[in-house]
Amino acid sequence: MKKQLSLCAALAIVLSAATAFAADLTGTWSGQMPGQNGDTFHISYTFRQDGARLTGTVKSPQGDDIEITKGKIDGDKLSFNLDVNGTIIRHEGTVSGDTIKLTTKSDAPNYPGADLTLTRDQAK
């Protein structure tokens, strides 16, 4: 019985420590997205985090907000989708401090995917 209580207590400590170290992505993050012609354009992500759930929007180059769907965070790993004119673009990445490294992928032949780095926008 004491072993079970000790095991439960140890598990509770590990789980609370893992939650304490999870990144809080709430806020605005920006970076440069590679374009198809070798150029880049500014992109801005606004994240809202509720535990392991990630929601928010991405500001498109045309100025439209695109909703983040299926967003989740697990420790320093994050993933979410964007629906851009019917094309689902999957995002997977890692967060380290005020930097997020993302890889984007899609099954659409006209979207080759990209790697990008976002940095947290500082409050003004």
Q: With residue 3 as reference, give the H or E element that holds it.
A: helix 2-21
- Provide the CATH number for the domain formed by 24-120 in this structure: 2.40.128.120
DSSP designation for 35: -
Instruction: Please give the sequence-ordered ranges of beta strands (E in DSSP) within the chain, or none if there are none.
Output: 27-34, 40-50, 53-59, 65-74, 77-84, 87-96, 99-105, 114-120
Q: What is this structure's pTM?
A: 0.77
Q: What is the pLDDT of residues 16-42, one digit of tens each?
A: 434 444 579 999 999 998 877 888 889
Question: What is the chain's pLDDT, residue by residue, as a tens digit (124 residues)?
Answer: 555 544 444 444 444 434 444 579 999 999 998 877 888 889 999 999 999 999 999 997 778 899 999 999 999 999 999 998 899 999 999 999 999 999 999 988 888 889 999 999 986 5
* Contact present, 104 and 116 (Cβ < 8 Å): yes
Q: Which residue is listed with tokens 């994050």?
A: 78
Burial of residue 29 (CB within 10 Å: 0-12, 13-18, 19+) is buried
Domain boundaries of the chain, sorted by first residue: 24-120
